[in-house]
C-alpha cells in the first residue's frame, strides 16, 4: 500500500523531531542536566521512525538503549517533556524520575527497558503470547542493536515466537559497531537477517537510512503478524555517527575512528535523503521544510524548559518505601 501525502509528511516530521530531541539531549548532557551518559542515535533515526510511526497505541514496543529510545518512544506517543523530565529526575517523568533513561508508559504500550541487553527478547515473546491470548491483533516490536542479537535469549525467543506463530517483530538496528568493536569482527556473516532461516522466520535486509523503505518492510511484517502468520526479522543497515556515548573517546579497537568513514555515512543522513525525495516528489516545499524544522525546534525547546522547571520528588524515602512490592 502506498503512503499518502500526509503519511509521508508525518514520517519526515518525525525524523526531524527525533533529531531535535537528540540534539537537545546532547546539550543537556554537556551542560550537566543529564547525569552519567547519553547514547546519541544521530543518523539512525529512520529505523525507529520508519518502524513505529504507524503502530497502534495498544501495540507493544521494546526499544534499545540507543538514543535512549527516543526514535521509538517519542514516535509511539511519549511526549518529549516527559522523556526529558525522566532524564532530569523530575516527578513528572514517565517513571516519577526514578528510572534514569528506562522510559516506560504502559498506556502507550511501552513496558520499559532492560538494563542488560538482550533481556527484551523473552519479555517480548511473553507479551506476544499475551497478545495472542487476548486476540485483539496487537503486535509486539523489539528493536535492538546488532550486538545484542548475539545473546542466547534471541535464539530461545525466536524458537518460541516461530513455533507458536506469535505476533512478534524483531528489528535489528545494525549500526555496525558494538561498543568500540566493529561488528564485522565479532559476527561471522554479513547479514543478521540470515538468522531467520533456521527458525523459518521471514527475514529481510533494508536500507536503514531510508525511512520509507524501513516503513514498507515493517508494515508488511506487521500485516503478517496481525494476520496470525507469525513473527518476522528485519535488519536495517545504518551507522553510528556519534561515539558510543556522548563524550566518550570515539575509538574502534583502541584507535580513533576515521572521520572519512563517518563522512560517507553523513552523506546518507536519513533526514537529508527523505527531504530530497519529498522535494522531488513535490510533497514538500522548502517553506514546508523550514516550518517543520522550526516547529520541531520549538517543541523541544519548550519541552526542555518545562521539564527542567518541573519539581523533583519531595520525599525520596516515601518513593523507596513502595519500591519492592505492589501492595
Ligand X SMILES: Cc1ncc(C[n+]2csc(CCOP(=O)(O)OP(=O)(O)O)c2C)c(N)n1
What are the residues binding another protein (CB under 8 A)?
Answer: 60, 93-99, 102, 104, 106, 111-112, 114-116, 119, 121-134, 140, 150-157, 159-160, 162-164, 185-189, 194-201, 319, 322-327
CA-based R_g, the chain, Å: 19
Binding residues for ligand X restricted to 118-137, rule: CB under 6 A: 118
Cβ 183 vs Cβ 159: under 8 Å: no
Q: Does 178 bind ligand X (CB under 6 A)?
A: yes
Q: How far is CA 302 from CA 79, 286, 308, in A?
A: 11, 24, 10
Burial class (CB within 10 angstroms; exposed 0-12, middle 13-18, buried 19+) of 174: buried
Cell readout for 59 is 501495540
Place of cell 548475539: 150
Binding partner selected for residue 146 from another protein, ligand X, none, CB under the kind-specific 5 to 8 Å limit? ligand X
Q: Which residues contact 262 (CB under 8 A, 6 or more apart)?
A: 239, 241
Cβ 72 vs Cβ 105: under 8 Å: no
Distance CA 198, CA 186 (A): 20
Binding partner selected for residue 66 from another protein, ligand X, none, CB under the kind-specific 5 to 8 Å limit? ligand X
Site pattern 40..69 for ligand X (x: CB under 6 A): ------------------------xxx---
Site pattern 102..121 for ligand X (x: CB under 6 A): --------------xxx---
Distance CA 139, CA 169 (A): 8
- Nearer to another protein among residue 124 and residue 169 (C-beta): 124
State the nearest-atom distance from the C-beta of 295 to another protein, in Å: 30
State the nearest-atom distance from the C-beta of 187 to ligand X, in Å: 10
Cell readout for 226 is 496481525
State the nearest-atom distance from the C-beta of 114 to ligand X, in Å: 8
Bridge partners of 206, per DSSP, are 236
- Nearer to ligand X among residue 40 and residue 138 (C-beta): 40
Distance CA 32, CA 212 (A): 36
- Nearer to ligand X among residue 146 and residue 310 (C-beta): 146
| Residue with the CB atom nearest ligand X in the bound state | 145
3-state secondary structure of 205: strand
Q: Does 236 bind ligand X (CB under 6 A)?
A: no
Binding partner selected for residue 150 from ligand X, another protein, none, CB under the kind-specific 5 to 8 Å limit? another protein
Choice from 109, 147, 196, 230 touching ligand X (CB under 6 A)? 147
Closest to 175 measured CA to CA, from 48, 62, 55:
48
State the nearest-atom distance from the C-beta of 220 to another protein, in Å: 20
Q: Measured over all CA atoms, what is the biggest interatomic distance in the chain, rounded to whole angstroms? A: 58
| DSSP letter assigned to residue 3 | P
Binding partner selected for residue 78 from ligand X, another protein, none, CB under the kind-specific 5 to 8 Å limit? none
Binding partner selected for residue 157 from ligand X, another protein, none, CB under the kind-specific 5 to 8 Å limit? another protein
Bridge partners of 233, per DSSP, are 170, 203
- Nearer to another protein among residue 169 and residue 278 (C-beta): 169
Binding partner selected for residue 175 from ligand X, another protein, none, CB under the kind-specific 5 to 8 Å limit? ligand X
- Nearer to ligand X among residue 76 and residue 244 (C-beta): 244
Q: Contact positions toward ligand X, by CB under 6 A?
A: 64-66, 116-118, 144-148, 175, 177-179, 240, 244
Amino acid at each position: 500500500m502506498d503512503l499518502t501525502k500526509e503519511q509521508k509528511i508525518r514520517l519526515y516530521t518525525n525524523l526531524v523531531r527525533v533529531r531535535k530531541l537528540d540534539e537537545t539531549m546532547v546539550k543537556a548532557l554537556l551542560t550537566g542536566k543529564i547525569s552519567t551518559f547519553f547514547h546519541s542515535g544521530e543518523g539512525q533515526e529512520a529505523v525507529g521512525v520508519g518502524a513505529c510511526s504507524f503502530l497502534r497505541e495498544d501495540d507493544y514496543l521494546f526499544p534499545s538503549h540507543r538514543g535512549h529510545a527516543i526514535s521509538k518512544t517519542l514516535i509511539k506517543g511519549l511526549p518529549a517533556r516527559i522523556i526529558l523530565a525522566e532524564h532530569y529526575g523530575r516527578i513528572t517523568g514517565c517513571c516519577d524520575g526514578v528510572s534514569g533513561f528506562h522510559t516506560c508508559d504502559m498506556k502507550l504500550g511501552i513496558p520499559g527497558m532492560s538494563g542488560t541487553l538482550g533481556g527484551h527478547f523473552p519479555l517480548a515473546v511473553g507479551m506476544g503470547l499475551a497478545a495472542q491470548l487476548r486476540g485483539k491483533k496487537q503486535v509486539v516490536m523489539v528493536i535492538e542493536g546488532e550486538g545484542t542479537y548475539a545473546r542466547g535469549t534471541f535464539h530461545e525467543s525466536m524458537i518460541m515466537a516461530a513455533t507458536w506463530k506469535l505476533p512478534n517483530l524483531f528489528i535489528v538496528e545494525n549500526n555496525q559497531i558494538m561498543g568500540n568493536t566493529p561488528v564485522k569482527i565479532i559476527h561471522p556473516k554479513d547479514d543478521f537477517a540470515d538468522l531467520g532461516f533456521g527458525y523459518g522466520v521471514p527475514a529481510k535486509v533494508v536500507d536503514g537510512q531510508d525511512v520509507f523503505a524501513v516503513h514498507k518492510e515493517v508494515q508488511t511484517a506487521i500485516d503478517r503478524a496481525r494476520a496470525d502468520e507469525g513473527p518476522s526479522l528485519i535488519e536495517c543497515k545504518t551507522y553510528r555517527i556519534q561515539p558510543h556515548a556522548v563524550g566518550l573517546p570515539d575509538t574502534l579497537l583502541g584507535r580513533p575512528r576515521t572521520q572519512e568513514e563517518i563522512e560517507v555515512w553523513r552523506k546518507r543522513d536519513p533526514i537529508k535523503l527523505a527531504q530530497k525525495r519529498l522535494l522531488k516528489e513535490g510533497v514538500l516545499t522548502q517553506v514546508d521544510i523550514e516550518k517543520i524544522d522550526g516547529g520541531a525546534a520549538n517543541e523541544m525547546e519548550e519541552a526542555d524548559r518545562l521539564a527542567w522547571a518541573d519539581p523533583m520528588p519531595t520525599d525520596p524515602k516515601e518513593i523507596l518505601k513502595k519500591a519492592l512490592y505492589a501492595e
